[in-house]
Amino acid sequence: MKLNPAQQEAVEYVTGPCLVLAGAGSGKTRVITNKIAHLILNCGYNARNIAAVTFTNKAAREMRERVNQTLPKGKGRGLIVSTFHTLGLEIIKKEIKTLGIKSGFSLFDDQDSMALLKELTEKTLQGDKDKLRLLQNQISNWKNDLVLPEQAKKHTTNNDEVFLAECYEKYNRLLAAYNAFDFDDLILVPTLLLKQNEQVRDRWQQRIRYLLVDEYQDTNSSQYELVKQIVGRRGLFTVVGDDDQSIYSWRGAKPQNLVKLGEDFTRLKLVKLEDNYRSCGRVLHAANILIANNPHVYDKKLKSNMEYGEILRVIVAKNEENEAERVVAELISHRFMKKTSYKDYAILYRGNHQARVFEKMLMTNRIPYKISGGQSFFARSEIKDIMAYLRVLVNPDDDNAFLRIVNVPRREIGPATLEKLGQYANMRHISMFAASFELGLEQQLTGKRLVNLQRFTRWLVELDDQSQRGEPLEAVRDLIKQSGYEEWLYETSPSGKAAEMRMKNVSQLFGWISGMLKGDEAECIEPMNLKEVVTRLTLREMMEQGNDEDEADQVQLMTLHASKGLEFPYVFMVGMEEGLLPHQTSIDEGSDEEERRLAYVGITRAQHELIFTMAKERRQFGELIKTEPSRFLHELPVDDLDWEVTKRKQSDEQRKEKGKAHVANLMSMLNK
Ligand SMILES: Nc1ncnc2c1ncn2[C@@H]1O[C@H](COP(=O)(O)OP(=O)(O)OP(=O)(O)O)[C@@H](O)[C@H]1O
Ligand SMILES: [Mg+2]
């Protein structure tokens, strides 16, 4: 693969710390993939001593693929390409003894952790959603800053803070009782362990001798500390990033970590890349002009290597339905004229809720599409159910999971039974699952209630035995069959078709499990046992979403956040309105810099053409609100934008009919 001289320099510098700081599309990610190959092929590194960290599972998968293509077969074996969280999980798993935790621990996603917080603040916050969210954020911030409950408690200045810190302490204690970690723990726990335990640190520094980090601008304090602990004094690493694409400050990301890197590693070599290979000149010009409105720590230049390209259009639609209609009509005719594929198009938006009308319009027109994020595969109730079964199977202490499935499908184990069971378990300080076997429970529960409950838990024990006997796949298959889940889906779904769809999702999940147990899933280094599979799936569930049929020819729908690092020939940036982009909260807070960076990320995803759209009216909380064009549209260079002038005289009805006719016309052209 060809590289320019600056990229080449970054790839070949392997004797010390290296930072590549450059704008979008300048080939930073390409530097990382080429450097991995260079380290293995020309510098004598064994692949298993190299780790590359990226931000999403999708990016990790792509990176691994790209590296494998450049290496002779087998040379990439053992290479770690993962997200920060998967790397953290890997460290926890390998150091489970040192950490003194039971294997088969659970991972709690945001919803699980919220359920826990709700439980422990039942009396104080009484389910107040805003306050609960505030508490959850504060705990997350503490964890991201490596602050433990004791330290948090020490630094309180008022009663509110004392309350938050105490909740944090209780929350962590509950997590431990459930033998569970939350998302932020996956970084916090390994980082503190490496920091405090020299032996463990040595072990990991021996294992990972060269570290590469993509999208470095989005690392938070705990992630940065993890990097520091792994590279140690040797300081052999390459990180690449772009401060203008820092869009995760709400998760504690600190672009200042770029500056800190220079202070912490004084030998740091800085490489700047100034050629953009992705976007046409006009797209790049617009992006550069927009981002110039933000203050800059580093001076960066970026010039296009492509032609200047088509004018950037702004489509002004009447309302959100009309916006979706227009985008889909544009897409159909464009595809017809240019003979492109559906997967060449991306529709990018600020918030997941914006996706729905586009989804509907695409479906109506039979256009294949894929939504990344949003209602993810793992958020579907059937997947949550089966995952809960699996979680109980590998970690019977997981009361949350137990409660989710104890009566799904219905087993006549009612709330009164569960309440009694819960009380007894609490008294004995054991899990509900364990409590169900104790003789003492007979005083609380009698007759049929106890029989039903124990039939259920005994059945789980049998499945676990089967799995332990070396038949994990059969155990999972039996679990799904014997639970009667399929029949239950047919009974409870709104239609047979819906039940069928849901069962298809369950089969998909089963397929993944089977692949992981055999070790043929992309992210597997070797076959996994059922415990590992469940933790890995939970992580997939937390990180990202979905059943990634990357190869399929589908229009891509995703949030601006999820589009980071990706590129598409044709991009629609929709909902370009004040209140959406920039988001209302940032307007209220009087700071739009991060939103501008988000717009910059969106614009720089486009390779050939970029179309902005907005709706003049939008429904908000059931009311129709008049909107204003996004300030970012006004910041773009006037000569590069073509604002569509709306013809006022057309009535709504006429417009609607015309839009429909247009789409129908195009479809018939295509079908000929
Ligand atoms: N030297 C080069 N010659 C030709 N094409 C290149 C070169 N370097 C990178 N590219 C191509 O340019 C595009 C952008 O590269 P890449 O994704 O690595 O950029 P990036 O800096 O990581 O972008 P982002 O900031 O959006 O993550 C890719 O299609 C890549 O293959
Ligand atoms: Mg990149």
Per-position DSSP letters for 473-534, written without gaps between them: HHHHHHHHHHTTHHHHHHHHSSSHHHHHHHHHHHHHHHHHHHHHHHT-STT-SS---HHHHH
pTM above 0.90, yes or no: no
- Binding-site annotation: residue ranges for ATP: 22-29, 278
pLDDT tens readout for residues 68-83? 888 988 888 899 999 9
pLDDT tens readout for residues 29-67? 999 999 999 999 999 999 999 999 998 877 888 888 889
Pick the residue whose CA is nearest to atom 4 on ligand 1: 277
Q: Compute the radius of gyration of the chain from its Cα atoms.
A: 27
Sign (positive or negative) of CA dihedral 60, 61, 66, 69 = positive
Q: Give the atom of ligand 1 at the shortest distance from the alpha carbon of 7.
A: 1
Q: Are residues 451 and 467 in the same domain?
A: yes
In a domain, 278, yes or no: no
pLDDT of residue 545: 44
The helix/strand/coil state of 612 is strand
In a domain, 293, yes or no: no
The helix/strand/coil state of 53 is strand
Mean pLDDT, residues 266-288: 95
How many angstroms does the Cα of residue 350 sit away from the middle of ligand 2?
20
Total residue length of the chain: 672
Instruction: Look up residue 61 and give its two tokens.
Output: 């998968």
Q: Are residues 66 and 128 in the same domain?
A: no
Task: Give the CATH number, domain containing residue 158.
Answer: 1.10.10.160
Question: CA 272 to CA 168: how far, in whole Å?
Answer: 42
Task: Give the CATH number, domain containing residue 212.
Answer: 3.40.50.300
Q: Are residues 337 and 399 in the same domain?
A: no
Asked if residues 59 and 214 have their Cβ atoms less than 8 Å apart, the reply is yes
Whether cis (ω within 30° of 0) applies to the bond prior to 149 is: no
Residue 174 Cα distances to 119, 399, 609, angstroms:
10, 11, 51
pLDDT of residue 547: 44
Task: Give the CATH number, domain containing residue 450.
Answer: 1.10.486.10
In a domain, 523, yes or no: yes
Q: Are residues 233 and 250 in the same domain?
A: yes
In a domain, 666, yes or no: no
In a domain, 101, yes or no: no
147 lines ligand 1 (CB under 6 A): no
How many angstroms does the Cα of residue 397 sit away from the middle of ligand 1?
47
How many angstroms does the Cα of residue 144 sit away from the middle of ligand 1?
31
pLDDT of residue 164: 94
Q: Are residues 368 and 502 in the same domain?
A: no
Residue 366 backbone zone (phi > 0: left; psi -120 to 50: alpha; other: beta): left
- Predicted-complex ipTM score: 0.99
Q: Which long-range contacts (CB under 8 A, 24 or more apart) does 157-165 make?
A: 163/124, 164/135, 164/138, 164/139
Q: Are residues 610 and 566 in the same domain?
A: yes
pLDDT tens readout for residues 496-540? 777 888 888 898 889 889 988 987 765 666 788 899 899 888 877
In a domain, 285, yes or no: no
Please give the tally of structural domains in the chain: 4
Final residue of a structural domain among 490, 520, 545: 545
Q: Are residues 170 and 208 in the same domain?
A: no
Q: Are residues 227 and 338 in the same domain?
A: no
Q: Is the pLDDT of residue 609 over 70?
A: yes
3 lines ligand 1 (CB under 6 A): yes
Strands 345-349 and 555-559: parallel
Q: Are residues 410 and 538 in the same domain?
A: yes
396 lines ligand 1 (CB under 6 A): no
How many angstroms does the Cα of residue 517 sit away from the middle of ligand 1?
35
pLDDT tens readout for residues 150-165? 999 998 888 888 999 9
241 lines ligand 1 (CB under 6 A): no
In a domain, 263, yes or no: yes
Tell me which residue range forms the domain holding 631.
303-372+552-660
User: Could you list which residues have their CB under 5 Å from ion ligand 2?
Assistant: 28-29, 565
Give the ligand with the smallest distance to the CA of 277. 1
Q: Are residues 56 and 135 in the same domain?
A: no
In a domain, 214, yes or no: yes
Q: How many CB atoms lie within 10 A of CB 29?
A: 20
pLDDT tens readout for residues 355-405? 878 988 887 888 888 887 655 567 778 888 999 999 999 999 998 899 889
Q: Are residues 317 and 456 in the same domain?
A: no
Mean pLDDT, residues 210-230: 94
Mean pLDDT, residues 611-639: 92
Sign (positive or negative) of CA dihedral 224, 10, 602, 596 = positive
Instruction: Look up residue 146 and give its two tokens.
Output: 């490596």
Active centre residues (catalytic): 28-29, 214-215, 245, 605
Nearest to 572 by CA among 345, 356, 372, 284: 345
59 lines ligand 1 (CB under 6 A): no
Q: Are residues 152 and 83 in the same domain?
A: no
